[in-house]
């Protein structure tokens, strides 16, 4: 091509932006927005939700993500919308095998996008989870109900760990960008710990309500805990925790996870990204 394909790329970008506009995708960080938690209205994602409620719509979003430039602002905007609605998308794996595969493919596409994100974009995705009106389904990997939400959040945490432990990449991140990531993680960590304690309390309550004369197999409680706790997500969080957060994890592990394979002592030995990275 005489222009090196520049005109074609501009046209493609214009079409991608038009599609984003037709989906009414909201950017909480846009110029007319005041913040992640304050800039969203109850109907802002209505068109997007109607589209992704259908298998064909999920295929469309999957293909759309694949067409976008890695690390672009459009990818961040679409992924933030997805992270705001993890329960809607991944709350239950469809019984129809074709629809289930479509949902799995969407998760794979989002994961691929996350691996190309910088720290700021990762921060916004994690904050989108915290600011969502939906409680994300933080299930362990291998859950029969589906684990798409856990997989995507783990991908965010692992990508952040990669960036912050890479000596070459980490020097590119200013103090404000690191602070934004840490604030996003701290908010998510609070949500994660609350989720785990609620699950643990629910399991123990169900045991207690069986009655004082009930014969309870001691192995049933650990089995129930291992089926409910997102142990892999807790592990992926470790590199970003501070001393107080690791104490919280250690306390939780001592009380609830002696048989799940979660190394309680590992909570105190993982690298502290926020404190050990070069400035």
Range 225-248 average pLDDT: 92
In a domain, 211, yes or no: yes
Burial status of residue 11 (CB atoms within 10 A of its CB: 0-12, 13-18, 19 or more): exposed
pLDDT bin (cut points 50, 70, 90) of residue 6 is: confident
Cα dihedral 103/91/107/34 (nearest 10): 120
Q: Give the percent of the chain with pLDDT over 90.
A: 49
Q: Based on the structure, what is the number of domains in the chain?
A: 1
| 70, two tokens | 């890695």
Task: Answer whether residue 20 shows pLDDT above 90.
Answer: no
Range 15-22 average pLDDT: 83
> How many CB atoms are located within 10 Å of the residue 176 CB?
9
Pairwise CA distance, residues 247 & 264, whole Å = 10
Cα dihedral 66/70/72/76 (nearest 10): 70
In a domain, 77, yes or no: yes
Convert the pLDDT of each residue in 128-144 to its tens digit: 999 998 899 999 998 88
| 116, two tokens | 């190309």
Range 206-229 average pLDDT: 68
Task: Answer whether residue 279 shows pLDDT above 60.
Answer: no
CA 146 to chain centre: 14
pLDDT bin (cut points 50, 70, 90) of residue 8 is: confident
Task: Answer whether residue 53 shows pLDDT above 90.
Answer: yes
- Domain extent, residue 67, equals 6-276
In a domain, 110, yes or no: yes
Q: Do 65 and 113 meet the contact criterion of CB atoms below 8 Å apart?
A: yes
pLDDT score, position 21: 84
Mean pLDDT score of the chain:
82
pLDDT score, position 140: 92
Query: Where in 106-183 does DSSP place strands (E)?
Result: none
pLDDT score, position 103: 94
pLDDT score, position 121: 95
pLDDT bin (cut points 50, 70, 90) of residue 266 is: very low
Its pTM stands at: 0.83
In a domain, 1, yes or no: no
Q: Do 81 and 131 meet the contact criterion of CB atoms below 8 Å apart?
A: no
Which of 87-91, 124-128, 189-193, 198-202 has the lowest average pLDDT? 198-202
Most confident of 20-34, 53-67, 263-277: 53-67
In a domain, 114, yes or no: yes
């Amino acid at each position: 091509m005489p222009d090196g394909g520049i005109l074609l790329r501009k046209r493609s970008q214009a079409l991608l932006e038009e599609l984003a506009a037709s989906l009414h995708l909201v950017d909480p960080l846009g110029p007319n927005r005041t913040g992640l938690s304050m800039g969203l209205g109850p109907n802002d994602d209505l068109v997007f939700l109607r589209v992704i409620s259908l298998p064909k719509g999920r295929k469309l979003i999957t293909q759309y993500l694949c067409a976008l430039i890695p690390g672009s602002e459009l990818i961040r905007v679409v992924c933030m919308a997805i992270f705001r609605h993890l329960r809607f998308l991944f709350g239950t794996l469809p019984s129809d095998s074709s629809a289930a595969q479509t949902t799995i493919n969407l998760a794979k596409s989002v994961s691929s996008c996350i691996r190309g994100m910088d720290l700021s974009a990762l921060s916004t995705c994690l904050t989108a989870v915290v600011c969502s009106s939906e409680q994300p389904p933080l299930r362990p990997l291998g859950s029969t109900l589906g684990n798409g939400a856990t997989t995507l959040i783990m991908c965010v945490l692992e990508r952040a760990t990669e960036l912050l432990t890479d000596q070459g990449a980490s020097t590119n991140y200013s103090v404000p960008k690191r602070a934004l990531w840490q604030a996003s993680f701290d908010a998510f960590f609070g949500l994660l710990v609350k989720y785990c304690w609620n699950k643990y309390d629910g399991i123990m309550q169900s045991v207690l309500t069986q009655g004082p004369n009930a014969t309870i197999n001691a192995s049933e409680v650990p089995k129930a805990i291992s089926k409910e706790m997102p142990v892999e997500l807790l592990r992926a969080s470790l590199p970003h925790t501070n001393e107080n957060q690791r104490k919280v994890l250690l306390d939780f592990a001592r009380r609830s996870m002696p048989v799940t394979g979660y190394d309680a002592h590992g909570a105190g030995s993982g690298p502290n990204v926020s404190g050990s990275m070069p400035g």
